[in-house]
Structures are given as structure tokens and as C-alpha cells.
Amino acid sequence: MKIIETELSGVLAIELDRYSDSRGSFVESWHKEKYVSLGLGVDFVQDNISYSKKGVLRGLHYQNPSPQGKLVFVLEGGIFDVAVDIRLGSPTFGKWFGMTLTYENCKQLYIPEGFAHGFVVTSEVATFAYKCTGYYNKESEKTIRWDDPEIGIVWPIENPILSEKDRVGSSLKEMPREGLFTFDRKPLE
């Protein structure tokens, strides 16, 4: 296993080890002691699984208050996964990082608190799993537009399938500053 820092401080790309033989393969998706030894010492309290068809785009989501860090990975199919820095005062505020996650490439992405998250399904279907550092809180959930021109994410799709919530999200500029985070990833009070 290897952890790689991205250009967004705190967002980590993780390359897992796959063990294969004639019967199939095995991937260890979480082992707390190994992750801690590589510098990712977080506690997860909730696991989620999302199943979507090709072209479905979910995001850009975050919670404040009650923020969540997420360790994301794909169990079936493929997605393009994105993190956006929404920490006021950060040198990378409003910047994004994206990467392709598939079961075959054995990659994960860790998105800490203080970032918005989204993904689009690039295969016929995808089963997407993520571990969260905080519990889901509907009242804390916020949505930034997936196509905010100031963020400028280059999605590998032109006309995604969106929920109503994602269709009417606000631009980052329109988000109330008290709804964002500070560079130390603390919610503004």
C-alpha cells in the first residue's frame, strides 16, 4: 500500500495491494494500523454504499456543521472522483483534484473535512463505497454546483444525470462564508 499526497493539502491518493490467483483476487480496503503507520490516523464511524448507472453525477456535497472526512473506493465499475478545497484562507481554496477510481486500479481517495466531494459514474454501473469520519446529518448537508465555472472541474461527461438537489446547488461564491471552513478545517461558527 502506498499513500500519495495530492496538490490539495490533506487530500490523499491511496494505492492498495491486490492479491490475485486463479480463483480471483483479494484487496484489503481498510486496516487501521497500516493506515496509521502511513500517516492516516482517522476514526471512521459510518460506512456507505452507493449504486449508480452510467452518467449519474452526485455532488458536490459537504456537511457543516457536523463535517465528514471520507475514504472513498469502488467495488464495481468506475467513477471519476473529485475533491474541492472549501477552506477559507487555504492557498488552494476553490481548487479541485480529480482521479479515476475503479476496482481494477485498486485506488482510494481520502477527502478530509473542509472539502466538498462529488463523483460521476464512467462505467455502465458502479458500486461506490465510502467510510465517513462523521455521521450523516441532513440538516448540515450543503451542495455546491457540479459545474461551477469558477471551480472549473473538467468532468468526463457533458450531460450528467442529476438529482434535483444537485441541479439547484449554489456556486462556491454564493455559499455563505459561515457555511464553509477555515484553513484549519474547522467549521465557522
Among all residues, which ones are annotated catalytic?
Answer: 61, 130
d(CA 152, CA 106): 27
Given a contact cutoff of 8 angstroms between Cβ atoms, the answer to whether 141 and 63 are in contact is yes
Cα 119 from Cα 21, distance rounded (Å): 31
